[in-house]
Amino acid sequence: MLTEQGIIGVDTLLKEAFETDAESQLVKTLRSQDRLVAEHLLPLEDDESELLAYIAYTDVSFEKGEAEDILALGPMAVSPGAQRQGIGLEFLQHSLDALREDGIMAVILLGHTDFYRQAGFQAASDFGLTFGQAEEHFMAIELRPGALKNVSGKVLYDDAFYSL
């Protein structure tokens, strides 16, 4: 659970990192409905009100198959002043390592392919998964080999994502 300073820091970072406040509103909605499974922060110093990076994770469901311990990543934000310095990629790797240690089996996302490929993500279609739009940006990574073998078809995000 985030501190009040952390919540303020997340909101500020999301508003700075994105062109609209859609991502900020999404996280507020998910948090208010207790739908965020994990939130990872990279504070500038010890003060969570000023963040370098942030990642949110939520549950997903699948058209075919049941799977626990598979999460959707998003949104992820890096402070504009800290972008293109490798901070985001390093933070993402630490975040995925923490999820792996917590027993998470796989992560899916919709995002910038060039960036996420550097972290080991590959096309979700390689695992038989679809999103229904922007398929070229729909990606997945198995944190445990074979984690996605029992699911297929369309991936369904939390309802809050569809109101963006």
Question: Does residue 47 sit within a domain?
Answer: yes
Are the C-beta atoms of 53 and 77 separated by less than 8 Å? yes
Domain span including residue 94: 4-159
The per-residue pLDDT of the chain, averaged, comes to 94
* CATH code for position 28: 3.40.630.30
pLDDT confidence bin for 68, thresholds 50/70/90: confident
- Looking at per-residue pLDDT, the higher value among 84 and 163 belongs to 84
User: Looking at residue 124, what DSSP letter applies?
Assistant: G
Question: Does residue 50 sit within a domain?
Answer: yes
**For range 40-49, the mean pLDDT:** 82
Give kind and range of the element (H or E) at residue 64: strand 61-64
Are the C-beta atoms of 158 and 73 separated by less than 8 Å? no
Q: In 3D, which of 122, 54, 39 has the Cα closest to residue 91?
A: 54
Q: How many separate domains does the chain show?
A: 1
Question: Does residue 136 sit within a domain?
Answer: yes
Question: Does residue 164 sit within a domain?
Answer: no
Question: Does residue 15 sit within a domain?
Answer: yes
Question: Does residue 152 sit within a domain?
Answer: yes
pLDDT at position 109: 98
Whole-model pTM above 0.85? yes
Q: Is the pLDDT of residue 44 over 90?
A: no
